[in-house]
Amino acid sequence: MVKGTFINLGINLFEILYFPKLRKETIETFVSFQNYDLIFDALKEGRGIFFLSGHISNWELQAFTYAKVFRTRLNIVVKSQSNKMVNKKINQYRELSGNEIIEIGGSLRNIYTLIKKNELVCFLMDQSAPPDYSVYANFFGKKVSTFAGPAKIALKNNTELIFVYPYRNKNYKYIIKISKIAYDDLKGGATIENVTELTSRINEKLENAIREHPEQWLWVHRRFKHIQK
């Protein structure tokens, strides 16, 4: 599994470098989407969509190809890289397909504006969150700090939650799985109990995806940095 993790990273790097040459016709020969009708059904509701995913397989390719295939912009919330030159270059590649990058920090108002316009906002939910603005939710048998923003906003605005993740087959073709996260049973708005429960549901989706393809997850990042004792 450890070996597979680093092989996955190497493949990702070379595929990302090829982004400037990727066209829709080429993408459709090696990337397919399952249950993409869920996205269009969610858009009909008119309340915006949160695309929730993680550092699984080639997560950058997933966002790039979605915009190319469906000709729809994704607004992707990202952490800034410590190296400014690397940060600038990778964001340039991310935006080649028409996506827009929103760097964490001062982005909350922008996110509210986007969902009111019925747009798609993407979060990678498997990053360790600072305890000050997170909740401790179940993940691989631990209570780990997890960004609470998507759950809070969804519970306040009834935003559609769609979980998306890619995996790479042995023939190097990708399948991108799409499913809905239901939470209409959580009554009373964005209470701490509801936020924690919904965030745990998101983590459960992530955990199940990782268990299916453990060698394609980014195990080397510090996901378990903050654990509730």
Q: What letter does residue 58 receive in the DSSP assignment?
A: S
Contact 68, 27 (CB under 8 A): yes
The fraction of the chain above a pLDDT of 90, given in percent, is: 83
Contact 54, 164 (CB under 8 A): no
- pTM, two decimals, is 0.92
Under the banding of pLDDT at 50, 70 and 90, the label for residue 206 is very high
Contact 75, 99 (CB under 8 A): yes
Contact 146, 78 (CB under 8 A): no
Residue-wise pLDDT for 155-204, tens only, equals 999 999 999 999 999 999 999 999 999 999 999 999 999 999 999 999 99
Round to whole Å and give the CA distance between 229 and 226. 9
Please name the residues in contact with 30: beta carbons below 8 A apart, sequence gap of 6 or more. Answer: 172, 173, 174
**Axis-axis angle for helices 84-94, 59-70 (nearest 10):** 30
The encoded tokens of residue 199 equal 């965030």
Contact 114, 37 (CB under 8 A): no
User: How many residues would you count in the chain?
Assistant: 229
Name the nearest CA neighbour of 123 among 149, 84, 157, 97.
Answer: 149
Under the banding of pLDDT at 50, 70 and 90, the label for residue 92 is very high
The fold of 2-216 is Glycerol-3-phosphate (1)-acyltransferase (3.40.1130)
User: Does 229 score more than 90 pLDDT?
Assistant: no
